[in-house]
Structure 1
Amino acid sequence: MHHNSLSIDGVACACNALRKAARAMTRFYDEVMEGYPLSLTQFAVLRNIARHEPVPLMDLAHVLVMDRTTLYRTLKPLEREGWIAVAEGKGRAKQARLTAQGRDAVANSQGAWEEAQRRMIGAFGPERWAGVEAALGDLVMLAQGSQA
């Protein structure tokens, strides 16, 4: 891995900077999506279930970069609302799939999410965002130990 001469002395904590940005972005999306059936977090989970369904919960946790306990806490209200069904999969693994109500909730929130996305990426710039998105992917891999 290439190391540059920039010292870490005086540089803001990477974790805190990313957490602040994540909280601010989540708040922005949730405000735009207010009045729609889903929060941003619920929308993201449901969309990922839809992309991979039926999806084993272990795989879903990996895709979302969540620990299993946090994922299970996140899934409980979605199951209670009737938006997902969690059932036994292969072996002892559980898997999730969207219900018809879940598909409707995603469809009903899609336009608001698209509006938030358009506003944020439009203001930030698509080219700049592409660079940030790539850098964030690299950070996820580094944090998970995929690169030294």
Structure 2
Amino acid sequence: MSIARNVPFETTLQVRDTCLCLHTQRAARALARRFDEALRPVGLTSGQFSLLNALNRPEPPSIGAVAQLLAMDRTTLTAALKPLEREGLVAVAADPGDRRSRLLRLTGRGQEVLASAVPIWRDLHAAIEAGLPASGPDNLRGALAALSQPALR
């Protein structure tokens, strides 16, 4: 059995002030709330908007390709697709080349909802970027892209 050890409060302050994971999570939640509110009139959450956008391709992508793009595991993606399927925004079909694999596509209604959401996203996105320091948006995107890459082994 291990002996309980107290973590000094200074450590708590250090984590609060420097932890990249904490700061990224807080920013992600704050951004998601803003986009959720803005997209509510078209019936989408920010996550659903991202998912519909990921399906907006010339050829239907596989579940694996979309999961990789969105940095989600396949099970979480499958669960996120269910309400979009029920609403008739997304269709899931067997891949004719590999019946074990599933392909995802936007339905006509899904394309309409996405088209309605894009101007809302553009306006809010521009407002958020305008509130960042001049070099902020590109530097932030670059840093986040670096953080989202798989860790080197």
Question: Do they superpose with TM above 0.5?
Answer: yes
Partner of 1:99 in structure 2? Answer: 107
Distance 1:119 1:52 in 2: 30
- Partner secondary structure for residue 42 of structure 2: coil
Q: 2:33 is matched with which residue?
A: 27
Identity of aligned residues (%): 34
Instruction: Choose which of 42, 65, 90 in structure 1 pairs with 2:71.
Output: 65
How much does 1:69 deviate? 1.0
Query: What amino acid sits opposite 2:70 in the alignment?
Result: L
**2:125 matched to 1:117?**
yes
Q: Provide the aligned length of Structure 1 versus Structure 2.
A: 137
* Paired letter, 1:40: S
Tell me the distance in 1 between the aligned counterparts of 2:58 and 2:83.
20
Return the TM-score normalized by structure 2.
0.83
The normalised TM-score by structure 1 is: 0.85
1:103-122 residue CA offsets vs partner (Å, 9 max, x unmatched):
00101111111111111011
Q: Structure 2: state its 5+ residue gaps.
A: 1-10
Larger Rg: 2
**CA–CA distance in 2 between the matches of 1:128 and 1:105?**
30
Higher relative contact order (Cα pairs below 8 Å, separated by 6+ residues): 1
- C-alpha distance after superposition, 1:10-60 (max 9, x if no partner): 353222221111000000111222212322111110111113630000111
Q: Which runs of 5+ in 1 are unaligned?
A: 1-8
Matched, 1:133 2:141: yes
Residues 126, 62 of structure 1: alpha-carbon distance in 2 compared, 3 angstrom cutoff: farther
Identify which of 83, 88, 102 aligns with 1:82.
88
Deviation, 1:127, is 2.6
Show structure 1 runs of 4+ deviating over 4 A: none
